[in-house]
């Protein structure tokens, strides 16, 4: 769920709440809250910085009740541009400074990760759009760089109104060891305007 707060045409406060399930069950695999402050330089460029707090189950099984805690500083730059009448493109570069608390199986450690995400959004009708994205991540931890993950994303977007939308889609996630994961995503976004006119 995303609840961005628009202060004016330049400033925005993004808020992002995530609940990720363990397989097909409703049990939590991960809970995430991300907040920040965003500045729009113009219609193409914007920059955002913020913090995030993440709790992730230490194993992919319901029998394990322990959750590891991560605190994160993050920064990103975005470029977006209309490519055709109903097609827009966006490129996002995000960096993250990650601090993992100790768990029963791992010592505390720090990591730096960068993420690059190109995406296309196609407007199909007045209310329906389709989004296609690929997000690649590399991480520096324990004195070395390594591939972290890659996400291929296909989403359908339904506009409930000018400030609200529903998203649903599919994400294929590739892990460093060569394994992959198939994920169904559902999201809701509501923009909160502090002023009636922007």
Sign of the alpha-carbon dihedral angle for 83, 4, 110, 180: negative
Count of domains observed in the chain? 1
101 assigned to some structural domain: yes
pLDDT of residue 15: 97
- Say if 110 falls within a structural domain: yes
Residue 198 placed within a domain: no
pLDDT digits (tens, 9 = 90+) for 122-157: 999 999 999 999 999 999 999 999 999 999 999 999
We report the CATH number of the domain holding residue 75 as 2.40.160.40
- pTM score: 0.92
pLDDT of residue 25: 86
pLDDT the model gives residue 196: 61
CA–CA distance, 98 with 90 (Å, rounded to integer):
25
Domain that includes residue 30, residue range:
5-193
Distances (CA, A) of 28 to 68, 121, 148, 171, 187: 12, 30, 22, 18, 16
Is residue 185 in a domain?
Answer: yes
CA dihedral (100, 78, 19, 195) in degrees, to 10, reads 120
Whether 104 is covered by a domain: the verdict is: yes
Instruction: Give the C-alpha separation, 2 to 40, whole Å.
Output: 18
What residue ranges of the chain have pLDDT lower than 70?
Answer: 196-198
- Which residues is 9 bridged to in the sheet? none
Q: Does residue 76 lie within any of the structural domains?
A: yes
Is residue 32 domain-resident? yes
CB 193, CB 171: distance < 8 Å: no
Look at residues 69, 67, 93, 66 and name the one whose alpha carbon lies nearest to residue 79.
93
Write down the pLDDT at residue 135: 98
Residue 38 burial (10 A CB sphere; 0-12, 13-18, 19+): buried
Q: What are 84's two structure tokens? A: 């055709």
8 Å CB contact between 32 and 50: no
């Amino acid at each position: 769920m995303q609840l961005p707060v628009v202060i004016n045409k330049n400033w925005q406060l993004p808020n992002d709440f995530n609940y990720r399930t363990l397989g097909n069950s409703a049990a939590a695999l991960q809970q995430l809250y991300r907040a920040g402050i965003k500045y729009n330089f113009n219609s193409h460029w914007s920059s955002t910085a913020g913090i995030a707090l993440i709790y992730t189950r230490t194993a992919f099984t319901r029998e394990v009740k322990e959750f590891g805690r991560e605190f994160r500083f993050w920064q990103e730059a975005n470029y977006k541009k209309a490519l055709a009448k109903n097609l827009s493109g966006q490129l996002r570069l995000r960096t993250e400074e990650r601090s993992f608390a100790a768990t029963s199986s791992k010592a505390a450690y720090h990591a730096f990760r960068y993420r690059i995400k190109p995406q296309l959004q196609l407007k199909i009708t007045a209310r329906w759009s389709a989004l296609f994205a690929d997000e690649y991540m590399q991480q520096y931890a324990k004195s070395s760089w390594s591939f972290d993950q890659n996400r291929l994303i296909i989403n359908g977007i339904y506009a409930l109104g000018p400030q609200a939308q529903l998203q649903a889609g599919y994400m294929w996630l590739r892990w460093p060891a060569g394994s992959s994961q198939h994920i169904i995503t559902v999201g809701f976004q509501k923009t909160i305007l502090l002023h009636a006119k922007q």
